[in-house]
Amino acid sequence: MAKADYDGYEALANAIVKLAAEDYMKALKSLKRNPSSRTAKQEKEDNERFFRSGWYSTLTSVDGEYLIRRMKEAVGYEG
């Protein structure tokens, strides 16, 4: 595989993880404001499942549990 191809795959993997992290933070903030939001709960659960998945591990070497904890701390989410 050419370096340019690898760089493209790496950029795509980073973009996928970044978008999931942004979505997760948004869901946590929404749940902090409105703990009964079904949509935010579902988004949170979906993203946690992703961060714990083999697919996530294929995309990055960053520990998913670590990332979840850090994002919860960042928004002050206790749930």
Contact 27, 40 (CB under 8 A): yes
Q: What is the pTM of this model?
A: 0.90
pLDDT mean across residues, the chain = 94
Domain span at residue 29 reads 3-75
Overall average pLDDT of the 66-74 stretch: 98
Q: What is the pLDDT of residues 9-35, one digit of tens each?
A: 999 999 999 999 999 999 999 999 999
47, two tokens: 């993203």
What is the percent of the chain where pLDDT is above 90?
87
Domain count for the chain: 1
Overall average pLDDT of the 40-64 stretch: 97
The per-residue b/e assignment along 39-78, b for 16 or more CB within 10 angstroms, e otherwise, is ebbebbeebbebbeeeebeebbeeebeebbeebbeebebe
Instruction: Retrieve residue 51's tokens.
Output: 């961060």
The pLDDT of residue 7 is 85
